[in-house]
Amino acid sequence: MPEVAKEPGRTVVLGERELAIGFRLIGLTDVVEVTPETAAREFQRAMADPRFNLVIASQSIRPRLSENQRAQADASLRPLVVFVPTPAGEFEVESIGTLAKRVLGVTLALPN
């Protein structure tokens, strides 16, 4: 009996209008514009949707999440949550080493 190929997981983007427009322009269809008032609710909805393997969220959403939601985002591998810089304003960039530790559980060591 042939094995049925599983449909690959989908990517959802949560962010400000400018971020949403950019991701729509590159062809993503699961894009949700959020406001400070709707950010936590839309984030929870995306995390609970089994269709999504990747959640790309604007960095501005992170402070709007509850402590539990932030912990869930940091620990989740399915869906994997990646926070991207906001279109304007200050942002915090996660280093490659920190991302590898969080996602893969490995520490990257660079030769001296």
Q: Which architecture characterizes domain 10-104 according to CATH?
A: 3-Layer(aba) Sandwich (3.40)
pLDDT tens, per residue, the chain with 112 residues: 555 446 678 999 999 999 999 999 999 999 999 999 999 999 999 999 999 999 999 999 999 999 999 999 999 999 999 999 876 655 555 566 666 666 666 665 655 5
* CA atoms of 86 and 88, how far apart (whole Å): 5
Query: Tens digits of per-residue pLDDT, 38-55?
Result: 999 999 999 999 999 999
**Contact at 8 Å (CB) between 13 and 32?**
yes
